[in-house]
Amino acid sequence: MITQEVNPIILGIESSCDETSAAILKGFDVISHIVYSQMIHKKYGGVVPELASRAHEHAISQVVHSTFESAKLAPGDIDAIAVTYGPGLMGALLVGLNYAKGFALAQNIPFIAVNHVEAHLYAPMLEFTKLAPPFLCLLVSGGHTMLVDVKGVRDFKILGTTRDDAAGESFDKTARLLKIGYPGGPVIDTLSDSGDPGAVKFPRSLLEPDSLDFSFSGMKTAVLNYVKKHNEPNDQDKANIAASFQEAVVDVLKEKVRRAIVATGHRQVVLAGGVAANRRLRFELKKMADHMGVDLFYPPLEYCTDNAAMIAATGVMYYRKGWFADLEIGAVPNLKL
Ligand code: KG4
Ligand code: ZN
């Protein structure tokens, strides 16, 4: 007889980059979720690792405390703790990881070590509770750009990945070049509303005709050359460049997803990672998905960017399988999927 899935109460902790986050889930129900985004990096135009570690150290106790307060629960109510152990910045990871180890020891509960990238793949399942593998996932974040054939929990095949920059990285670098702020993704997304996406024809690198890999470095160079040639772009020029750049990235991502749908035959497509917050990308992929008769799922904004709810959700799945980690496990900055 198939038994009902257990619905453990899991505390999730995330501190791999510049978000200090904690969440408490009961099964896939998010009881409370807090994300503290570090603002200190804005003035440097990118995440400064040492400052990130310090800010996590400063914030983590308060973030966890507030999460319990808003859930109206106590540490003794938690069945297991799940935490990101990689990939990410070493010092940043260590803050969350060691906090979670201490919590697990103190409460004598199972400890679950989560791969941050894997957690991004499952994030849409927080919103769409009926969504389950198999599905095709386009994971686009600041550190990763990949197409993944998700067959089950910890059962995937990477179909394509970036050969140079990640999609989010190219947004961030372009924004830095245009001096319009950080992080680049949301800024370009907003600025593009007042720009003409057809103003500049940036190259769309699609690689070999059947390739599912990505390359964004050529596009970045093209933006650099364009900006150099057109000295001191005014506000309207910047909006046009932003919109044209965004259009080029979206065109490439769209074509790669189309190829992957054709190659795999998947009928469910999931969009995940920080760049999944991009409105133009969502709009264009939805149009294409409808046209191809496939279902497209994308998480709400709060689950697109780094968050602990997706870490706790992965924890729920691991808990059900009994996949617990040893407290000796260390942080792995370059952890692979
Ligand atoms: O998933 P995430 O929060 O962190 C990583 O694991 O990398 O992704 C952050 C990335 C940044 O590069 C940011 O610029 C990008 O996601 N991003 C966006 C948008 N919101 C965030 N890119 C394009 N459009 C957006 N609206
Ligand atoms: Zn991430």
pLDDT tens digit string along 180-218? 988 899 999 999 999 999 999 999 999 999 999 999 999
Rounded Cα distance between 320 and 308, Å, is 18
Asked if the bond preceding 134 is cis, omega within 30° of 0, the reply is yes
Instruction: Tally Cβ neighbours within 10 Å of residue 326.
Output: 7
Sign of torsion over alpha carbons 57, 143, 87, 305: positive
CB 88 less than 6 A from any atom of ligand 1:
no
Atom of ligand 1 nearest to the CA of 116: 6
CB 306 less than 6 A from any atom of ligand 1:
yes
Q: Going along the chain, which residue ranges are E strands?
A: 9-14, 19-26, 29-37, 80-86, 111-115, 135-140, 145-152, 155-161, 268-272, 295-297
Instruction: Tally Cβ neighbours within 10 Å of residue 160.
Output: 19
CB 142 less than 6 A from any atom of ligand 1:
yes
Rounded Cα distance between 104 and 109, Å, is 5
- For domain 129-298, the question of CATH label 3.30.420.40 is answered with yes
Output b/e per residue, 189-208; b: 16+ Cβ within 10 A. Answer: bebbeebebebbebeebeee
- Look up the CATH superfamily of 9-124+303-321: ATPase, nucleotide binding domain (3.30.420.40)
Note the pLDDT of residue 2: 42
Atom of ligand 1 nearest to the CA of 305: 3
Residue segments in the chain with a per-residue pLDDT below the cut of 50: 1-3
Mutate which of 275, 285, 334 for ligand 1? The one with the most ligand atoms within 8 Å of its CB, which is: 275
Note the pLDDT of residue 201: 96
**Closest CA to ligand 1's atom 22:** 185
Note the pLDDT of residue 3: 44
Distance 46 CA to ligand 2 centre (A): 15
Atom of ligand 1 nearest to the CA of 168: 12
Note the pLDDT of residue 79: 98
CB 275 less than 6 A from any atom of ligand 1:
yes
CB 305 less than 6 A from any atom of ligand 1:
yes
Distance 141 CA to ligand 1 centre (A): 5
Atom of ligand 1 nearest to the CA of 167: 12
Distance 52 CA to ligand 2 centre (A): 15
Q: What are the start and end residues of each CATH 3.30.420.40 domain in the chain?
A: 9-124+303-321, 129-298
Q: Among residues 102, 136, 237, which one has the least CA distance to residue 177?
A: 237
Rounded Cα distance between 94 and 332, Å, is 9
CB 174 less than 6 A from any atom of ligand 1:
no
Q: Say whether 83 sits in a helix, a strand or coil.
A: strand
Radius of gyration (C-alpha) of the chain in whole angstroms: 20
Residue 58: CA count within 13 A, CB half-sphere: 12
CB 87 less than 6 A from any atom of ligand 1:
no
CB 168 less than 6 A from any atom of ligand 1:
yes
Distance 141 CA to ligand 2 centre (A): 6
Note the pLDDT of residue 29: 96
Distance 18 CA to ligand 2 centre (A): 10
Atom of ligand 1 nearest to the CA of 143: 7
Note the pLDDT of residue 186: 95
Note the pLDDT of residue 4: 52
Q: Are strands 135-140 and 29-37 parallel, antiparallel or unpaired?
A: unpaired
Tokens 């969504």 label which residue?
131
**Closest CA to ligand 1's atom 1:** 274
